[in-house]
Amino acid sequence: MFHQPAMVEESIQGLNVRPDGIYVDATYGGGGHARGIIEKIEDGRLIAFDQDVATGENLIEDSRLFFINHNFRYMKNFLKYLGFNQVDGILADLGVSSHHLDAPERGFSFRFDAPLDMRMNQKAPLTARYIINSYSANALNDVFRNYGEIRKTRFLVDAILQGREENEITTTSELEEVLGPYIPFKYRNKFLAKIFQALRIEVNKEIENLRSFLEQSLEVLKSGGRLAVISYHSVEDRTVKNFMKSGRFSGEPEKDFYGNVKAPFVLVNKKVIVPSREEIRYNNRVRSARLRIAEKL
């Protein structure tokens, strides 16, 4: 099953879709958001991106859709190639999809015994297996701290270093076995989720790609165009929040000579939008979703 999109109505409403507008769905996935946008455009266009080759099996057949099988970090170049220098709205539903989590062979979830892979783009060279078996202690510490937001990482890294000296760690179960004695049983699932999240983000360079995408969004959006981003963990959400607030990832806005703030966006929703209880009830995986919408000045 492909990804069940989060907050479809809220995000598309936030884009303020015009019938003749040009829009970007930066994370096509199962096409849930794309369908919602296409329903609202008439002679407009939707340019959709997704780096997973499996996405091609689930494309909407519609002449208004241009699908590009690449990561959204290449958005600006492909838009220019297609002749769309500026667009009216951009939507991104970040994070890992249900399709990835439910495909054991992809190695995204500790629910299955699978190869340590975690690549969204299966042609990419970096895998979780390589990270676990080849990264230095300092590099592993950085991955778990920065992307898993795990404060005490030394015991995890020491366990990995010791484990890989004896045998290469190649599967999700082997990694869990190595780390198991050092994880409190009460918090096992939550802790493993943080570890797998950190590895997945590093494998797919998610934060680097997100930053590049956000900067490009500012360049390609028309004045009055809108950017809607759904994130699923605090590392993503903080990056999006700071950029929408100030145009900078630090969150500190640029000021002119007189001290006036030079913010490139105005926030459409000053308070983050979260899924309704009803949506969480039928799709529990959206429970951590956070939607932010901004309009370019």
Q: Quick: pLDDT tens for 168-216.
A: 999 999 999 999 998 888 888 999 999 999 999 999 999 999 999 999 9
Q: Quick: pLDDT tens for 228-251.
A: 999 999 999 999 999 999 999 998
Q: At what angle do helices 137-148 and 188-204 cross, to 10 degrees?
A: 110
Cα–Cα dist 92/26, whole Å: 5
pTM: 0.92
Q: Which residues touch 244 (CB under 8 Å, ≥6 apart)? A: 227, 229, 265, 267, 292, 294
Domains of the chain: 8-98+206-296 (3.40.50.150), 127-204 (1.10.150.170)
Both tokens of residue 296? Answer: 């370019």
